[in-house]
Structure 1
Amino acid sequence: MNLIQLRLFRDIARELSFAKAARQNNITQPAVSIHIKKLEDELGKKLFNRTPHNIQLTPEGMIILADVKKILQLSEGLKIRSSYSQGVLEGNIRIATIHSIGMYEMGEFLSSFMKSFPKVHIHMEFRRFDDIYSLLLKEKIDLGVVAYPEQRTNIEAIPYSEDELVLIVAKDHRFSNKKTILLEHIESEPFIAFESGMPTREATDKVLDEKGIRVDIRMTNDNIYTLKKIVEAGIGVSIVPSNTVDEEVQRGSLVRIRIRDTKLTRPLALLKLKKTVPNTPLEIFMERMLSHGGNNT
């Protein structure tokens, strides 16, 4: 029994795929099968039930998996602490976030962190907000970063920062000379909205409903970049997180207008599994990110 076998077992259990585990570990699928067969022989237990189209953990495999995770966490932690004691931080951090946070909230912070800790490898992917919770529960990521965090079983949401939501219009729009506006004034405007079900859309809809304001939704989209381009083209106005339009405002293609009769904000949070103790790289990453977020609130 060795750490390679244990790591492959954990990865197959997580992905329910020998092929994916092989790719993640840069070895061939037949080599994975050989390692798992050796592990099963040594343990005297069948770890997986395999069919041509499906893989499932056996009951014995489920029990063994919990111990394997602990062993691997201790092993990886030992390597990290050993390198850190010599002044070098090494390790891997897997992050999932939504596009508007990853592109507009985290860029400066990530650049600074990676310069400080060049041997920490960060894998970041952009996903829909609801997928991030699922990936965390399946232990496919170490950290989620979301807007409007929800209470979910076994997931801890740590407040990180908040954005102000603002109205954006094209440079030649009739509102383009305004610095602030009353929310009711957008009632007659063609409105470009986030897709139904997205947290920012739900929060905006809630405020509009409370004030009895009905907007004329002409288009919807789930991508902040596309939404901004639609507004730039003069097709309508929209409400978006303020810092997502810094570049366009500076360039002069969009105008940012604050809403003066209501406070629209978007809370941001870090997500981690409740029972998981972060390894040293993740712990330092979270500490610095929370400090960075606090400075930007």
Structure 2
Amino acid sequence: MEDFRLRVFYSVARHHSFTKASAELFITQPAVTKHVKALEDMLGLRLFDRKGNTIVLTPPGEVLFRYAGQIFDLYQEALFELNSFKEDLKGSLRLGASTTIAQYLISPLLASYYERYPTIQLSLQTGNTEMIEHAVSAKEIDLGIVEGKKHHAGLKYHDFMEDELVAVVHTNSRYSRLKEITLAELSTIPMVLRERGSGTLEVLETALQERGIRPSSLTVVMHLGSSESIKSFLEHANCLSILSSRAIEKEVRSGQLKIVSIKDFRLPRTFSFVHLQGLPEGLAAGFMTFARRYYNP
């Protein structure tokens, strides 16, 4: 169903190397060159340039590379959808989810997936974003869902769903009278934040640095390893935290926690699927499709 020439081009573009593409695709290097030239002849465009010993994409090559990734994603999703008509759809899928996603999003999704595909064996590893990315790189899991910035060259990221971090205090805290604060005032309030390596902390620190504010200027009294432990800490301390809006929905509705607006400062972020560079396996691609449709019907 797919054009092998496009797959060869995509492999060369990812690796910036005809030799590495040859090894990945189990074909000879002359065959790689032949397929790329055939694609260039068909399109009437040059897709690669050589700069010394480096292979670089031309502007048309960059456009094709972007669309090729989307084409292969859709192809894998289509195969999974078609395979779902078979009664014997089986296999195992090793998933990983960073802490916030594991605590507040993944369970109902996994339950729904199990009901639809009971013969697929699922496993879930949890940890902060850095841990999940490491597990993907080490091939300990097939697919991760993380909440931090996209920064590992050896991994491929796909947007999953939007989230936002907010400033929050317990309603018993002396800071619960606050409705809005400035960034300057934020630095003066005792804070309890997520641990180093978490996507939540990374997003916050990056946003502060973009505004010319050193994260070390915050009055951080403690770092904790989960949103649940932070919420418990806030119940007994006059502190403020930065947490996912999804993590505090129940407590805000019940009146236990209160969101404090920070003037002219928002912290949107995107939850992302992450896997090794290249195309995800069929079950991983299918799970991505299922998850997107579950949360965005």
Shared fold per TM-score greater than 0.5: yes
Q: Secondary structure at 1:272's aligned position in 2?
A: strand
Q: CA deviation at 1:134?
A: 2.6
Instruction: Report what 1:133 is aligned to.
Output: 133
Structure-2 separation of matches of 1:259 and 1:113: 38
Instruction: Report what 2:247 is aligned to.
Output: 244
Instruction: Report what 2:103 is aligned to.
Output: 103
- Aligned-residue CA RMSD (Å): 2.9
Aligned length: 217
**Deviating more after overlay: 196-205 vs 162-171:** 196-205
| 1:101 maps to amino acid | I
Q: CA deviation at 1:199?
A: 3.3
Match of 1:290 among 271, 289, 292: 292
Structure-2 separation of matches of 1:82 and 1:111: 22
Structure-1 separation of matches of 2:131 and 2:196: 16
Structure-1 separation of matches of 2:291 and 2:85: 22
| 2:270 maps to amino acid | P
- The CA deviation string for residues 116-156 of structure 1, in whole angstroms up to 9 with x for no partner, is 22222210011232232232233221101111243334421
Q: CA deviation at 1:167?
A: 0.9
| 2:269 maps to amino acid | R
CA contact (8 A) 1:98 1:127 kept: yes
Instruction: Report what 1:221 is aligned to.
Output: 224
5+ long unaligned stretches in structure 2: 1-22, 27-79
Q: Secondary structure at 1:257's aligned position in 2?
A: strand
Percent of paired sites with the same residue: 22
Instruction: Quickly say closer, same or farther: Cα 1:82–1:246, change in 2 above 3 A.
Output: closer
| 1:111 maps to amino acid | A
Superposition TM-score, scaled by structure 2 size: 0.63
Instruction: Quickly say closer, same or farther: Cα 1:284–1:175, change in 2 above 3 A.
Output: same
Structure-1 separation of matches of 2:150 and 2:171: 36
Superposition TM-score, scaled by structure 1 size: 0.63
Q: CA deviation at 1:84?
A: 4.4
CA contact (8 A) 1:145 1:270 kept: yes
CA contact (8 A) 2:169 2:241 kept: yes
Structure-2 separation of matches of 1:88 and 1:81: 13
| 1:255 maps to amino acid | K
- The CA deviation string for residues 83-120 of structure 1, in whole angstroms up to 9 with x for no partner, is 84544533211011211111112233222222222222
| 1:190 maps to amino acid | P
Structure-1 separation of matches of 2:93 and 2:115: 15
Instruction: Report what 1:186 is aligned to.
Output: 186
CA contact (8 A) 1:151 1:157 kept: no
| Structure 1 position 230 matched with structure 2 position 228 | no
Structure-1 separation of matches of 2:178 and 2:252: 13
